[in-house]
A = this chain, B = another copy of it.
Amino acid sequence: MTAHDTRADQATFVHEIRVGWGDCDPAQIAYTGHLPRFALSAIDAWWEHHLDGDGWFQMELDRGTGTPFVHMSLDFRSPVTPRHRLMCEVWPVKLGNTSVTFRVDARQNGSLCFEGRFVCVFIDPNAFSPKSPPEDMRAVVTANLRPE
């Protein structure tokens, strides 16, 4: 029995990105400057998936909670190309009082292309000051927590 078996309720969330010609640089691989943007859109999509279709846009403008980034780190393992879709697995690894840490592992054709760690702070957008997350956001993070 693997760790995965014991958390049968936790479906792995994978966000698919179409990599195209315009994402590539003269080395014929996706330009490094685009990869953090890909990872961020995958985290945005993670929220959308877990909050009934509400991503960062609705979280901030409709629900009154922003989640700006205070840290990101990425390790690039192998080039990203247009020859396969980029499959970005996203999951929360840590929930603090006013912050959440996400992992994003991006794969193409089964191979790890890059892995990243992203720390966001929950804020009141008007004051731009940290706050505890609303109960529903806390709940979806907690339900999907998978420590590194």
Contacts and interface: CB of A to CB of B under 8 A. Distances in A.
Interface of A: 18, 20-22, 24-28, 31-34, 36-37, 40-41, 44-45, 55-58, 60-61, 66, 68-76, 79, 81-83, 125, 128
A21 B55 contact: yes
Given A20-B41, A20-B55, A26-B61, 4 more contacts: A21-B44, A21-B60, A25-B25, A68-B76
A25 B82 CA distance: 12
A83 to B, nearest CB: 7
- Taking each of A66, A69, A71, which has the highest tally of chain B beta carbons within 10 Å of its own beta carbon? A69
A18 B57 CA distance: 12
Interface of A: prevailing SS: mixed
A66 to B, nearest CB: 6
24 contacts: A20-B41, A21-B25, A21-B56, A21-B60, A22-B25, A22-B37, A22-B40, A22-B56, A24-B25, A25-B25, A25-B26, A26-B28, A26-B57, A27-B60, A32-B68, A32-B72, A33-B36, A33-B37, A33-B41, A57-B83, A58-B82, A68-B79, A71-B75, A72-B73
